Amino acid sequence: MVASAAALGGFLFGFDTAVINGTTDAVKAQFHISSTYLGFVVSSALIGCAVGAWFAGPLADRFGRVRIMVVAAVVFAISAIGSSLAWGPVSLMVLRVFGGLAVGAASVIAPAYIAEIAPAHLRGRLGSLQQLAIVTGIFTSLLIDQLLAHAGGGAGGNVPWGGEAWRWMFASATIPALVYGLLSLRIPESPRYLVKTKDLGKAREVLSRFVGGDVDLRIKEITRSLAGNDDVVRLSDLRGPRLGLLPIVWVGILLSVFQQFVGINVIFYYSTALWHSVGFSSNDSFLFSTITSVTNIVTTLVGIALIDRIGRKPLLLIGAVGMVVSLGTMAICFANATGSGDNLRLGPLAGPVALVAANLYVFAFGMSWGPVVWVLLGEMFNNKIRATALAVAAAAQWLANWVISTTFPTLADAGLMFAYGLYAFFALLAFVFVTRAVRETKGRELEEM
């Protein structure tokens, strides 16, 4: 339950990144902006996410994991309300960037906190709750978007109780933010942070209640791993011989970048508009987007069941192969499309095949790169640098997310075959990278890293 409460930061992550999905067409029409401008509006929160992630690690080392969770919840709630009141594209972008600060911070704190409080034999499954929360947040936001769009006769229409539906889509994010903040006030601080701040009595109590085993021995191991690290870890402490950084930090950065460069968030940011453009009605497009998000939840449960059994590295390799095949199939389907832009159409066979391939792609990602990368980022770094190194890797992930999200509308205008073919190529590179650079961490204590 404690791990689930912390993972609600992932719920905010998923909710915020997908809630924009139902608003894109309405925002474009409301503010009279181009596809390229829309790409910046959609991805604006990711800039804030990168900044929030970058500073979350050092702040968590200074003030504690739980305090940063509470602050993130408050900031996110303010952003949700403000976005619903946006009066133009610039104001919407600024408010989304502000909310991104909270989402980025939560994306760092949740995996670090769960890894630090979980027993080694359960750490993979508990760490995967972060991804389960993300995909559940995606599903919830898409469902709310669909209900509100139905109530308003479209995202740009007015709902019966007043106001445009797309504005209520943004406002709905206030509820999970408040729940996250309240639950964060009720969970214990990370035992490793408590040891670092010399609160050994509280650390012993937390370890005894949630981890078990020889608590005194665990305290000694944590103390030994933190030796000479009384000060807050700074970004300069990550310097190393490989292009200015420690090799393990580069592994974390590249894992994060590949997780985004395979294009997964395109499915959730633009799926409704995408399926509408290939011939499905608006209602069917929302339905297919919802089905895709349900697939993501189910497949994440598969990943949770397997991660502590077969390990992290095998799951990453299996997922990469699945993404290469499914993305390649989507690229072939769109190579045979007719028309372009809003008039793009797939044939009677290519349309269903593309839809199946998209869901197989989500399945391949959801049982592997979705949960496993977050688990690895939470456990692959040693106790001294964990929060700060994770912050750097997460910031890289958000920047990669921004690049993919911003460029997709332009790539789509040029041809979806090229877009999905490019993502398939990155999935292939991800397979090679994992084969050569990623080490297995299954069953190892954090003090062994």
What span, in angstroms and rounded, lies between the C-alpha atoms of 370 and 98? 25
What span, in angstroms and rounded, lies between the C-alpha atoms of 380 and 226? 15
Give the pLDDT of residue 231: 57
Span 134-139, mean pLDDT?
86
Give the pLDDT of residue 58: 82
Give the pLDDT of residue 244: 80
Q: Give the residue, 348 or 89, on which the prediction is more confident.
A: 89
Greatest mean pLDDT among 158-172, 367-381, 385-399, 426-440 lies in: 426-440
pLDDT band at 21 (very low <50, low <70, confident <90, very high): confident
Q: Give the residue, 447 or 423, on which the prediction is more confident.
A: 423
The CB density around residue 204, as the number of other CB atoms within 10 Å, is 17
What span, in angstroms and rounded, lies between the C-alpha atoms of 281 and 276? 6
Backbone angles phi, psi at 35, to 5 degrees: -65, -40
What is the per-residue pLDDT across 217-251, written as a single tens digit (0 to 9) for each?
Answer: 888 888 877 765 555 566 667 777 777 888 899 99
Measured CA to CA in angstroms, residue 422 lies from 327, 330, 390 at distances of 9, 11, 27
What span, in angstroms and rounded, lies between the C-alpha atoms of 98 and 114? 25
How far is C-alpha 274 from the geometric centre of its chain's CA atoms? 21
Give the pLDDT of residue 426: 96
Cβ 250 vs Cβ 393: under 8 Å: no
Q: What share of the chain is helix, strand, coil (3-state, %, to 5)?
A: 80, 0, 20
Give the pLDDT of residue 401: 83
Give the pLDDT of residue 318: 95
Whole-prediction pTM? 0.78
Q: Which two tokens stand for residue 87?
A: 């009066």
